[in-house]
Structure 1
């Protein structure tokens, strides 16, 4: 399977669609990602998988939530008799889901998640199914981890750009005050800081206002 030149969403969609075709039980499959305390379904082979994921997110528990947050394989063998996870097994049974296998994505520093398999027939999710699910989970974690690394790099770049922009406008404002009032650089910054504290406004915003209007105080 080649994942070159595909978006994150399209890659994960391929993973879930292929998993649904080759795993037993005519399953609906999905990929859950947990970012902080928020769980999200980033791909699903069938609306049923997304719906059952959302039930678990809403109640804060269930196989997919547990697997994604603990890194441990979670099995629900029979939705009609299962007593764990509050109302989820009953809801799953009502929607013709017979069993659930939630396989954690391989451990990564930046991301937690899981591949969820919702079987819709009585065919057992056996050891072979677990092995196949493990391989699909390994496929899924690579693009997800790359996405988080990319977003982290973009965030750092944006933060640096904002810091540089902020410094540039503050330096311009200091230059105006130094020229206008014959102040030193430190005195000019102190003047900006004093107005910032008085107005309860960021120094950058005070500086921007001065550069744009020639006035030291915000109006």
Structure 2
């Protein structure tokens, strides 16, 4: 039975409150890494959230130390593999007790030992509805820094992180949908203006917008928004949208 009076219980309760009160994705991820450093404990922590994890930077990521995080991300990207990438792929835990003796991730370990003081790494997949959405990675400057207790705490922290990230992803999807709907309405209004002014079918009007986007290297939605806001084909828009 869990001792609810233990410091760890209070600390994890504080973590839960902090995640609930965090404003936005960036603050949520910052709360996760800062809590990891204190609760596990470890010297550094990093979290990445993305549909895919590999050599390219994750869509959402942060580290307890920005310079350290940038160095580790570069090393992992150049190596093409790392404990974090492996944990993401398998949807589980990857533990490297001593990088100097690790037989996996050879290029990664070489880079970490050469450019950082990290000696042990623990990576845990962050899963939402049985889908891996990110990874939390903990770093220590001593070998065998993560014992069974530390791994248990890291798993518990990851569960808290998964709940918070699931909420943020839902908000993110809702915001993206709203943006897409607004763009769709604007483009529809612009098509209506072109159809009326140029006396062309809607399909031809959309083609004019698409061609103008390609020629000007601007988004279709931006051109459509300018047309709707001005309500005229005068100026730079005229040459782009009237066509040959």
Q: How many residues align?
A: 205
Does 2:209 correspond to 1:164? no
Aligned counterpart for 2:89 among listed residues 58, 66, 69: 69
The alignment partner of 1:87 has SS state of helix
Correspondence for 1:99: 120
The alignment partner of 1:12 has SS state of helix
Going from structure 1 to structure 2, the CA distance change for 1:195 and 1:72 (only over 3 Å counts) comes to closer
Cα displacement string for residues 88-147 of structure 1 (whole angstroms, at most 9, x for unaligned residues):
112223322121110111234776211111121235412211110011112222333333
Going from structure 1 to structure 2, the CA distance change for 1:109 and 1:189 (only over 3 Å counts) comes to farther
The answer to which of 57-66 and 208-217 deviates more is 208-217
Does 2:44 correspond to 1:28? yes
Aligned counterpart for 1:78 among listed residues 82, 98, 103: 98
Q: Gaps (5+ residues) in structure 2?
A: 1-13, 214-219
Rounded to whole Å, the distance in 2 between the matches of 1:217 and 1:110 is 48
Q: How does 1:10-159 map to 2 (within 5 A)?
A: 10-24=27-41, 26-37=42-53, 38-40=56-58, 42-46=61-65, 47-94=67-114, 95-108=116-129, 112-159=133-180
Going from structure 1 to structure 2, the CA distance change for 1:57 and 1:139 (only over 3 Å counts) comes to farther
The alignment partner of 1:78 has SS state of coil
Going from structure 1 to structure 2, the CA distance change for 1:153 and 1:6 (only over 3 Å counts) comes to closer
Does 2:217 correspond to 1:217? no
Q: Gaps (5+ residues) in structure 1?
A: 179-187
Rounded to whole Å, the distance in 1 between the matches of 2:112 and 2:206 is 60
When normalised by structure 2's length, the TM-score is: 0.68
Q: CA deviation at 1:50?
A: 4.5
Going from structure 1 to structure 2, the CA distance change for 1:212 and 1:110 (only over 3 Å counts) comes to farther
Q: CA deviation at 1:49?
A: 4.7
CA contact (8 A) 1:69 1:113 kept: no
The alignment partner of 1:212 has SS state of coil
The alignment partner of 1:116 has SS state of strand
Correspondence for 1:193: 204
